[in-house]
């Protein structure tokens, strides 16, 4: 599965989202231009929140699960309507199961060895995690050996102002967690934060293309 070129490759990581919050938080994110939403499974109620997001998602959006560690969890997310698989690690069994179910798979990698193993298993994008540890120099080094079209999404400590430097290092998208959403955040706060990230992405991307 490949993302449509018109989709902004920013993944909203909604750790701790509840089914009750999902409609308002999801609407704020979708209205701001986000089309990739993940609810990590290591918090109660994640599957219910995924179902609630799927119900309101635009046709071009992908909603799914994060912190997916087993093939059984892949099945659970798919049963909830999820079409996005995000993991902190690179488990070939998990990746292959997601591919078999038609999900967009973005496992976590921190080294070239993990990256190549994930791609061999069928990964569609690579979550560079933790981004603070890999660093922009580390990512740039990885791009010199990975297939040129590989989507690379740093996750961890990404702020709007850091998007441009990461793009220059080879990133093609990002995962954004607590700087975007924390349990209890209201809809207006999420809308403001989401708009700032989308604006930063659009600005940095236009500058990159103009070079």
Catalytic (active-site) positions: 38, 127
Helix-strand-coil split of the chain, %, nearest 5: 45, 15, 40
CB 155 within 8 A of CB 129: yes
Helix (H) or strand (E) holding 142: helix 131-143
Cβ–Cβ under 8 Å, residues 8 and 175? no
**Alpha-carbon span 131 to 138, nearest angstrom:** 9
**Neighbour-count burial of 51, counting CB atoms closer than 10 A to its CB (0-12 exposed, 13-18 middle, 19+ buried):** middle
- CA 8/CA 134 separation, integer angstroms: 23
Token digits of residue 15: 């750790």
């Amino acid at each position: 599965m490949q993302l449509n070129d018109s989709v902004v490759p920013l993944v909203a990581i909604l750790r701790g989202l509840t089914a009750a919050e999902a409609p308002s938080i999801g609407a704020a994110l979708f209205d701001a231009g986000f089309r990739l939403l993940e609810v990590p499974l290591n918090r109660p109620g994640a599957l219910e929140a995924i179902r609630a997001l799927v119900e309101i998602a635009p046709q071009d959006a992908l909603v799914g699960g994060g912190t997916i560690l087993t093939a059984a969890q892949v099945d659970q997310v798919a049963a909830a309507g999820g079409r996005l698989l995000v993991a902190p690690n690179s488990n070939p069994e998990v990746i292959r199961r997601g591919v078999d179910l038609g999900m967009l798979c973005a496992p976590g990698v921190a080294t070239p060895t993990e990256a190549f193993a994930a791609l061999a298993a069928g990964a569609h994008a690579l979550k560079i995690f933790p981004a603070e540890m890999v660093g922009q120099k580390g990512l740039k080094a990885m791009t010199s050996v990975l297939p040129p079209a590989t989507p690379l999404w740093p996750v961890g400590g990404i702020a709007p102002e850091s998007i441009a430097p990461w793009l220059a290092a080879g990133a093609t998208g990002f995962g954004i967690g607590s700087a975007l959403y924390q349990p209890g955040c209201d809809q207006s706060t999420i809308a403001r934060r989401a708009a700032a990230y989308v604006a930063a992405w659009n600005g940095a991307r236009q500058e990159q293309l103009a070079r």
